[in-house]
Chains A and B, each alone.
Chain A
Amino acid sequence: MDEKQPVQPDTDGTAGNKEQMIIFVIGDQEYCIPILSIKEIREYEKPTYLPHCLPYVEGAINIRGNIVTVVNLAKYLDVPAQTDNERRVVIVIESDEQTTCGLLVDGVVGITDILLSDVQPISVEGGAAELSGLVTVGERVIRILQLDAVISQLLGQEAAGTATAPTALT
């Protein structure tokens, strides 16, 4: 998680360092991600199940000829999702390395400018590596999602080197 997130204050937090974020809800919690990482937002359609997948992976969908994995953010973050939600959407994001993935959320709330100096970092100690910080907008507490973490876990990068070795011989 040492990769620099756009939302991390890269200066000493002087005011005026803004980032446009998109806010979405999962259950009753609000989250946000940088708007520039988003490729599109689309209706939820039933994805194709991927065998042996991580529990929070919904499956794969076709986006103009590309196979894109959809992550159920509620399961990923272990947050109860809204029940009977007809308006669930998939936010399609793209990482710096051109990896694309879809995030299944309960709904998009809106767009807001967030001052980087307002971001309160979260200690990883609390087991919240999925988030890169918190920010308060008025009365609301908005959690900033760590996108790199989502993607690297999806790609299984932590075990990329060893996963392919022949295992049959032990």
Chain B
Amino acid sequence: MDDILKIFFEECDELLPELERGLGELSDDDASKETINAIFRVAHSIKGGAASFGLERLVRFAHTYESALDCLRSETVAPNDEIVRIFFSAMDVLSDLVAEAKGTGDTVDDERIDDNIKKLKSIIEMGNGPEEPASSESSPVPENFEPVAFDFGGFDFDEPEENAEGGDFSVQFTPHSDLYVRGDDARNLLLGLKELVPEEHQDGFHVVCDQEKLPASLSELPAEEALLSWTVTVPQAGGQVTEEQIREVFDWVDDVCDLTITMAGGNGPDGGGEGSLPPLEEEPASEEEAPQAQPQKETVAPTPAPKVAPKEEKKPAKHVKKAEQSPSIRVDLNRISMLMDMVGEMVIGQASLESVLEKSGALDNQELLKSLSVMRSLTRDIQDAVMAVRAQPVRSVFQRMHRVVREASNLAKKDIALVLEGEETEIDRTLIENLTDPLTHMLRNAVDHGVESPEKRREAGKSEQGTIWLSAYHRSGRILIDIKDDGGGINRERVFQIAVQKGIVAPDAQLTEDEVNELIFAPGFSTAEKVSDLSGRGVGMDVVKQAIQNLGGHVSIKSTPGQGTLFSLSLPLTLAVLDGMLIECRGSTMVVPVTSVVELMTVKAPQEIHIIPDGTRVILVRGRCIPLIYLADALTLPWVEPGDKPAAKRTEQEDQLIVLIVENEAGARAALVVDGIRDQAQVVIKSIEKNYRRIEGISAATILGDGSVSLILDVSTLIAATTKRVDTRAMEQLVRNAA
């Protein structure tokens, strides 16, 4: 039982975002009938599930919600902003009620529930709730259920012949009460029938429910009797569906139901003439019929409808994708993690096998070489496949942010729209889980501090409604997440003042704009004059920065006064592997992430190296001034031979330096001076911090083919350490002199 309950909650976790997405489309005015049906289905599924677990508070609310949605569906009420807002706010209550039932959330305020129910009822009143008896308006809970008992999730009662098509099977299915006594469900059988039909023929699949035997009023309903029967139209799909298969579906229940299978094309029950099929191109449901036909099918398939409604076709790809989803299973995340680890070991094992064979000279054998390369590509494919298993669209996190912004803007009394972009961008699941908290905080922050109050916005000549964009996209092997607002931008003077007040920075410090922006991330910094409910406790942004850094990411800020602020998060796609360039440096092999390498070049020393007054050496690359980092010195690598000179001095006597131009996410570049470049390889990231501490300039370690440990350079901190020493103005001066 607990297991089933768990599944129900998991379903709720999937359904609620779907509801949110649907409502989002409603507010964008591009809602199709399919959208409304989809959100209706969500409310219905939650209600149904909750009812079977006796979660009364949830049922009661979901029921009202469903009834209100029904008004939209029957088009007695047209969605407008106000109505959508009511649905949104009620949806929050709904998800809180789910959390409450799950035991992960606080008990939901009765007042809040009643308030939302009242609002929902006002919608029902507007539509004069089709089947809602007027008395239920003020009735307590139990009566509230009544209308629903007959509302089979929106059956429309088409005439069966309308959908019947020559050559299709017509299955008449009348379950006896015993079928239900056995714990079976007609729905399962109907679903089973539906599964027989190949996807491209699903259009021809129709279910019609016969409710004739139902009594006129609920009080007369014999609760334990089977009164419904169904007529199902099953297309032959070019002979892919046979009568035998249909009978198989009912195999377990054939003694507790009446079943007649006929060929609708006039053939007898046993006439399975495959040749007599009508052309399959013939659309059974024309466009006008589609809206009618859909609700029927949806009762059969509460999961995303496999059919794409005609109107849907011009919708963005994501909807189509959703609709075409292939069957899925739920897998324990630990198993995938284990698999992931083992694949990582396999990659190392593969590499070490190669290096052993190479050393032993066995690689002269062509056949061995060939099978080895097959193995190599297989290993890589397996690795990619495992990664793909763990990759998920960021949508799940992004969708949650709607609510964050909604609640935050309500509290802050601002009108703010959240625009999501690139929700389909896929990213490793472990990252997704760890993104929620930082994103929540940053969005709250954007609402609270970023976007100005409506009055201020009007003064500034902006529209009163503020906008926050949350977008995700891939760039050079990383995922970038931008949080942009069209608010007032960072008030740098005030930030500086506060930082001085709080003792974060010395009053006479000379800071660049970027450095002032960075102050926001200092621990204990908060520009809010008073502590608000939202943010402003001053424990925010440093925690955000820390969380992002722990994920191997970086945060950067761009802010234009009066126009807004952009927070940019750059994250690795996965925490497990990385494409690296193997470099030699004073006898050590190290890994530079390929994503941060811009180009390789050789530099003539000393002619092409310029020394600026503070001793930093720079080179000019196509007019751009780039500081040199002598990697061996920067990392204080031990001398290979005692008495060796620092690399900076030594290399000056040499005539050629091998230089790797690297770039961080902010676009700052530096030139790494290395001894040589060995190879390019995919390496498995291993934590150093697990058994040691953080090392400046090193992000992690990996294991090379020969089993030795190699360090992965943290290009960002290396560049940061260098560029901090190099004053950009001095560099510009130099460029001018050089020119």
Q: Do A and B bind each other?
A: yes
| Interfacial residues, chain A to chain B (CB-CB below 8 A) | 47-53, 57, 59-62, 65-69, 99-101, 154-156, 163-166, 168-170
Q: Is the CB of B635 within 8 A of A51?
A: yes
* Given the contacts A49-B637, A170-B505, A69 and B691 also touching, CB distance less than 8 Å: yes
Contact yes or no, B709 A60, CB < 8 A: yes
Q: Which one of B228-236, B440-448, B518-526 is at the A interface?
A: B518-526
Shortest CB-to-CB span from A140 to chain B, Å, is: 32
CB of A62 within 8 A of CB of B709, answer: yes
Once A and B bind, how many residue pairs between them come within 8 Å at the CB atom?
A: 98
- Are B709 and A47 closer than 8 Å at their CB atoms? yes
Q: List 26 A-B contacts (CB under 8 A).
A: A48-B708, A48-B711, A50-B695, A50-B711, A52-B695, A52-B697, A57-B692, A62-B703, A65-B344, A65-B345, A65-B703, A66-B686, A66-B690, A67-B688, A67-B701, A67-B709, A99-B690, A99-B691, A155-B692, A156-B693, A156-B694, A166-B518, A168-B518, A169-B499, A169-B519, A169-B522
A69 interface neighbour in B506, B692, B697, Cβ under 8 Å: B692
Q: Using A62-B709, A67-B709 as known contacts, list a sample of 19 further A-B pairs with CB atoms less than 8 Å apart, ordered by residue number in A.
A: A48-B710, A49-B638, A50-B692, A50-B698, A51-B635, A51-B636, A52-B635, A52-B695, A62-B703, A65-B345, A65-B686, A66-B686, A66-B690, A154-B693, A163-B693, A165-B523, A168-B724, A169-B504, A169-B522
B589 CB to closest chain A CB, in angstroms? 8
The verdict on B515 contacting chain A, using a C-beta distance below 8 Å, is: yes
Which residues of A sit under 8 angstroms from B546, Cβ to Cβ?
164
Q: Is B652 located at the chain interface by the 8 A CB criterion? A: no
| Chain B residues with CB under 8 A of A51 | 635-637, 695-698, 711
Shortest 7 CB-CB contacts between residues of A and residues of B: A51-B635, A156-B693, A48-B709, A69-B692, A60-B709, A62-B703, A67-B701
For B724, what are the chain A residues with a Cβ–Cβ distance below 8 Å? 168
Cβ contact within 8 Å between B635 and A67: no
Contact bitstring B244-280, A, C-beta under 8 A = 1, else 0: 0000000000000000000000000000000000000
CA distance A67 to B708 in the complex (A): 10
List the B residue with the shortest CB-CB distance to A153: B693
Complex CA–CA separation, A94 to B708 (angstroms): 21
Residues of B within 8 A of A (CB): 344-345, 348, 499, 504-506, 509, 511, 515, 518-519, 521-523, 542, 546, 549, 588, 635-638, 686-688, 690-698, 701, 703, 707-711, 720, 724
Contact A53 B695 (CB under 8 A): yes
Chain A residues with CB below 8 A from B692, complex form: 50, 57, 60, 67, 69, 154-155
Partner of B588, one of A49, A156, A163: A49
CB–CB B518/A62 < 8 A: no
Q: Which A residue sits closest to B505, measured CB to CB?
A: A169
Given known A49-B638, A60-B688, A65-B686, contact A164–B588 (CB-CB < 8 A): no
Taking a contact as CB atoms under 8 Å apart, the answer to whether A62 and B707 are in contact is yes
Which residues of chain B are within 8 angstroms of A47 by Cβ–Cβ distance? 709
- Please tell me if the beta carbons of A60 and B701 are within 8 angstroms of each other in the complex: yes
A7 vs B451: C-alpha distance in the bound complex, in angstroms? 61
Shortest A65–chain B CB gap in Å is 6
Chain B residues with CB under 8 Å of A50's CB are 688, 692, 695, 698, 711
Interchain CB contact under 8 A, A52 and B709: no
Closest residue of chain B to A99 (Cβ to Cβ) is B691
Q: Which residues of B contact A49 (CB under 8 A)?
A: 588, 637-638
- B341 nearest in chain A by CB position: A65
Which chain A residues border B691 with CB–CB below 8 Å? 66-69, 99-101, 154
Bound CA–CA A68/B707 (angstroms): 13
In the complex formed, the residue of A with least CB distance to B724 is: A168
B696 touches A52 (CB 8 A): yes
Q: Looking at the assembled complex, report how far the CB atom of B95 sits from the nearest CB atom of chain A, in whole angstroms.
A: 35
Q: Which residue of A lies closest to B545 (CB)?
A: A166
Closest-by-CB residue of B relative to A155 is: B693
Residues of A within 8 A of B708 (CB): 48, 62
Bound Cα distance A85, B268 (Å): 95
Least CB distance from B387 to A in Å reads 18
Q: Which residue, of A62, A155, A165, A170, has the highest number of chain B Cβ atoms within 10 A?
A: A62
| Complex CA distance for A41 and B724, rounded to whole angstroms | 45
In the bound complex, how far is the Cα of B694 from the Cα of A67, in angstroms? Answer: 13
Select which of A52, A68, A169 is within 8 A of B636 by beta carbon: A52
Interface centre among A48, A51, A101, by most B CB within 10 Å? A51
Residue numbers in A under 8 Å from B693 (CB-CB): 154-156, 163
Complex contacts, B687 vs chain A, CB 8 Å: 67
A68 contact set on B, CB distance < 8 A: 691
Q: Which of B519, B693, B703, B724 has the most CB of A within 10 A?
A: B693
Chain A min CB distance to B706 (Å): 10
Taking CB atoms, residues of chain B closer than 8 Å to A170 are 505-506, 509
Q: How far is the CA of A163 from the CA of B637 in the complex (A)?
A: 22
- Of all chain A residues, the one with the shortest Cβ separation from B516 is A169
B694 and A164 within 8 A (CB)? yes
- Which residues of the other chain, A, contact B697 by a CB distance below 8 angstroms? 51-52
**Identity of the chain B residue whose Cβ is nearest the Cβ of A161 in the assembled complex:** B523
The answer to whether A163 and B522 touch (CB under 8 A), given A50-B711, A66-B686, A169-B511, is: no
Chain A residues near B542: list those with CB within 8 A: 165
Of A65, A66, A163, A169, the contact of B515 (CB 8 Å cutoff): A169
Distance of B694 from chain A, by nearest CB (Å): 7
Q: Which residues of A contact B698 (CB under 8 A)?
A: 50-51
Chain A residues near B711 (CB-CB < 8 A): 48, 50-51
Set of chain B residues within 8 Å of A100, measured between Cβ atoms: 691
A59 to B588, CA, bound (A): 12
Candidate in A52, A68, A155 with the most chain B CB atoms within 10 angstroms: A52
Contacts of A48 in B (CB 8 A): 588, 701, 708-711
| Distance in angstroms between the alpha carbons of A154 and B694 in the assembled complex | 10
Complex: chain A residue closest to B692, CB-CB: A69
Interface centre among B518, B635, B697, B709 (most CB of A within 10 A): B709
Specify the chain B residue showing the minimal Cβ separation from A50.
B695
Separation in Å of the B690 CB from the closest CB of chain A? 7
Report the minimum CB–CB distance from B698 to chain A (whole Å): 6
A57 to B709, CA, bound (A): 15
Contacting residues, chain B, for A59 (C-beta < 8 A): 709
Q: Which residues of A contact B509 (CB under 8 A)?
A: 169-170
CB <8 Å contact, A65 and B518: no
Complex-state Cα separation, A49 to B640, whole angstroms: 12
Q: Smallest distance from the beta carbon of B348 to chain A beta carbons, Å?
A: 7
- Complex contacts, A163 vs chain B, CB 8 Å: 693-694
Cβ contact of A67, chosen from B348, B521, B638, B686, cutoff 8 A: B686
Residues of A within 8 A of B635 (CB): 51-52
Which of B546, B691, B698 lies at the interface centre, i.e. has the most chain A CB atoms within 10 A of its CB?
Answer: B691
- Please, which residues of chain A bring their CB within 8 A of the CB of B638? 49
What are the residues of chain B within 8 A of A65 when measuring CB–CB? 344-345, 348, 686, 703
Chain B's closest residue to A100 (CB) is B691
Question: Which A residues are CB-close (under 8 A) to B703?
Answer: 62, 65, 67
Q: Determine how close the nearest CB of chain B comes to the CB of A71; give it in whole angstroms.
A: 10
A164 to B301 Cα, complex, angstroms? 52
Which residues of A are found within 8 Å of B549, using beta-carbon distances?
Answer: 164
Q: Give the distance in Å from the alpha carbon of A57 to the alpha carbon of B635 in the complex.
A: 15
User: With A52-B635, A52-B636 in contact, do A169 and B686 touch (Cβ < 8 Å)?
Assistant: no
| Nearest CB of chain B from residue A76's CB, rounded to whole Å | 14
Whole-angstrom CA separation of A66 from B709 in the bound complex? 9
A158 to chain B, nearest CB (A): 10
Nearest CB of chain B from residue A154's CB, rounded to whole Å:
6
- Closest Cβ of chain A to B635, distance in Å, is 4
